[in-house]
Structure 1
Amino acid sequence: MSVSVRIPTILRTYTGGESEVSASGDTLAAVLDDLDSNYSGIKGRIVDEQGELRRFVNVYVGNDDVRFLDSLATATPEGTQISVIPAVAGG
């Protein structure tokens, strides 16, 4: 299943400057694996050493935050747009 993945500026060095790329997979985990096979190292910036989403990275499938769905097991239907958004902090 092909999906569109929006890449934040900070991770575009992995995608050759592309702000949006295509990937395949029926779950977010599969999409991230496919993304990493085409853009080596990008998955490690989204997922930590324990295989969980990094604390300061938000991922949306459509308009829904995957932390409130099934996290990496969230379904990614054909044509879905996935957005990777680094959290913004400061004071």
Structure 2
Amino acid sequence: MIAVFIPSQLTSYTDGVSRLTAAGGSIEAVLDDLDRRFPGLKFRVVDEQDRIRRHMRIFKNGDRAQDVRAVVGEGDEVLIFGALSGG
């Protein structure tokens, strides 16, 4: 299983839980697994073309993932963050 850390702005989709586990061989598959259990979560992280949304950041084992097709494996950690912006 993959450990997934959910940012506070998305825990309303996960019943308040910020640490989850999910199955999958890629970040996309992990998001699909989470979305089956928590509908709407994936769409908040990626857009219709499966690109990471501009205001979101995903890290795999501490390294920023640029693409949801990044491979993950047993014991990996995926961290999802909402990027800060302002003006």
| Length-normalised TM-score, structure 1 | 0.91
How far apart, in 2, do the equivalents of 1:73 and 1:52 lie? 10
- Higher share in helix: 1
- 1:1-91 to 2 correspondences below 5 Å: 2-67=1-66, 71-91=67-87
Q: Deviations over 1:28-59 (max 9, x none)?
A: 11101001001111000001122211011000
In structure 2, give the amino acid aligned to 1:85: F
Stretches of structure 2 that go unaligned for 5 or more consecutive residues are: none
Identity of aligned residues (%): 37
In structure 2, give the amino acid aligned to 1:77: G
How far apart, in 2, do the equivalents of 1:51 and 1:72 lie? 7
Alpha-carbon shift at residue 77 of structure 1 (Å): 1.1
Moved over 4 A (4+): none
Alpha-carbon shift at residue 27 of structure 1 (Å): 0.6
| Length-normalised TM-score, structure 2 | 0.95
How far apart, in 2, do the equivalents of 1:90 and 1:54 lie? 16
What is the CA RMSD across the aligned residues, in angstroms?
Answer: 0.9
Q: Between Structure 1 and Structure 2, how many residues are aligned?
A: 87
Stretches of structure 1 that go unaligned for 5 or more consecutive residues are: none
How far apart, in 2, do the equivalents of 1:30 and 1:49 lie? 15
